[in-house]
Copies of this chain bind each other. A is one copy, B any other.
Amino acid sequence: MSDFNIKFNHNSGIPLYRQLYEYLLKEIHNGNLKENEKLPSRRMLCNRLNVNKNTVEAAYQKLTAEGYIMSEPRSGFYVKTKLDNFDKDEDTLPDYTYNFSINGIDVMKIPNNIWGKLYKDTILENPNLFNHGENFGERILQKAIQKYLYDTRGINCYSNQIIIGAGMDYLILMTSLVMNKNTIYGIENPCMKRIYSTLNICDKKIRLINVTKDGFSTELLKNSNINVLFVMPSHQYPVGYKISLEQRHELINWANSGKNRYIIEFHYDSDFIYDKSISPIYSLDTNEKVIYIGDFVKTIGPSIKTSFVILPNPLLKKWKQRLNTYYSPVNLFEQWVLAEFIQKGFFTRHIKQMKDIYMKKKDYLISELKNCSFYNKMEIYNANGGTHFIAKFNTDIPEKQMERAARLQKVKIVPLSRNFITSSPLSDEKYFVFGFGGFENFEIREAVSLLEKAWGTL
């Protein structure tokens, strides 16, 4: 048991929550806090140490996110054991043949002959493209992305507001560096973990917004002190809900009714939504409060690292001042080939084809699941686009046991809780993520029949 005898150093420049986090981490490593040991409640600890409740909250949150402690609903925080650490113990789980990964993409339909030819022609005709490019990205690509976003989503911006990056993480990081230092970031829980990790690793202040299968109420933002909100309004990763037009307006109002507020809107899955599309939050904004960010991982393939961010002009100006050594870390050939792929209509054609393919895979998966004996124990939600949906299971069998049973049948299927940063209302129920993007139909059939073997006794 730790005596929690931490001496805070107010002159070190190290935030108090971080000093507490490091102290607790040390106590865990040296065994003063043992596996399975219950930690003091956040209220108790903040009273004992005479610090702000947010300080303890932030320290516990960081330890949870990094896998050292876990929150048992209605019970408290406990130091994790090795067995609890499923992610890290991946090698104790059997190998798998089928993977219902939320990140599964069908890359076999990409017209790679067209890509190959585009690359060869571009390289042969433009040897100068081995040289320095433009700092924010090649104009030809900025223009192509601008047109694509305008044509498909009605997004109106100047091409020079578009900054090209490699991968989302670096762009998110750079964007955070043009914000004020004390910016508090609001992130949905659960969310795309890398967003949390990227900010957390640089000690940015984060407030989690617990979501349900239907999303979150805008009310949660008030009194939260959040300055910058991350949202994926089309098809949230991983829960899958779509933010209504009404709530998009509420979020705009929220952004306009406080200082230094911004919304970072992700393009994610916007091309693959079945219903008539809703206006992006970016297009409802008249006050330059929305940052729009996206990539081509889903629409083309994960190997295409090119990402983009549309910055409001005041932030663009700050970027030029503060990040004046930034240059787009994407090979110029890739930028030109992507621009041409878009300009010549190959991209639109490909998206249309894939949207149809993914919708059919989704229908096929659901029809196969209907044949399963456990189908009456599950409720499917948010099968409204993209390459995944979630399903709630009404059973007493623990989630981990279900996951292990599937693995023993060589099927990898992951509980929604794997994406939690910290426990949430969704923790009270059992959800699994059904990603189908990476499957051929025969694989869907076989994977589902193996799930029947694993879960037939639910």
Contact = CB atoms under 8 A, between A and B. Distances in A.
Interface of A: 10-18, 103, 105, 107-108, 110, 112-113, 115-117, 119-124, 127-133, 166-167, 169-170, 173, 177, 181-182, 193-194, 197-198, 201-202, 300-305, 322-327, 329-334
Contact of A331 (B108, B112, B123, B303): B303
23 contacts: A13-B16, A14-B182, A107-B131, A112-B130, A115-B123, A116-B121, A119-B119, A130-B301, A130-B302, A130-B304, A131-B301, A131-B303, A167-B329, A169-B325, A170-B170, A170-B329, A193-B325, A194-B325, A197-B325, A201-B322, A201-B323, A202-B202, A303-B332
B123 A112 contact: yes
Given A13-B16, A170-B170, 8 more contacts: A11-B16, A112-B123, A130-B300, A130-B303, A132-B302, A166-B305, A173-B173, A330-B331
Contacts of A331: 303-305, 330-331, 334
Nearest to A170: B170
Nearest to A305: B329
A112 B127 contact: yes
Contacts of A103: 132
Nearest to A335: B303
Contacts of A130: 105, 107, 110, 112, 300-304
Stoichiometry, copies per complex: 2
Contacts of A122: 116
A17 B181 CA distance: 14
A390 to B, nearest CB: 21
Contacts of A120: 116-117, 119-120
A305 B326 CA distance: 13
Given A115-B123, A120-B119, A123-B112, A330 B305 contact: yes
A316 B322 CA distance: 30
Nearest to A201: B177
Contacts of A117: 120
Contacts of A304: 130, 331
Nearest to A181: B14
A202 B302 CA distance: 28
A133 B197 contact: no
Among A103, A121, A129, A303, the one with the most B-chain Cβ atoms within 10 Å of its Cβ is A303
A321 B201 CA distance: 11
A333 B112 CA distance: 11
A13 B170 CA distance: 25
A305 to B, nearest CB: 5
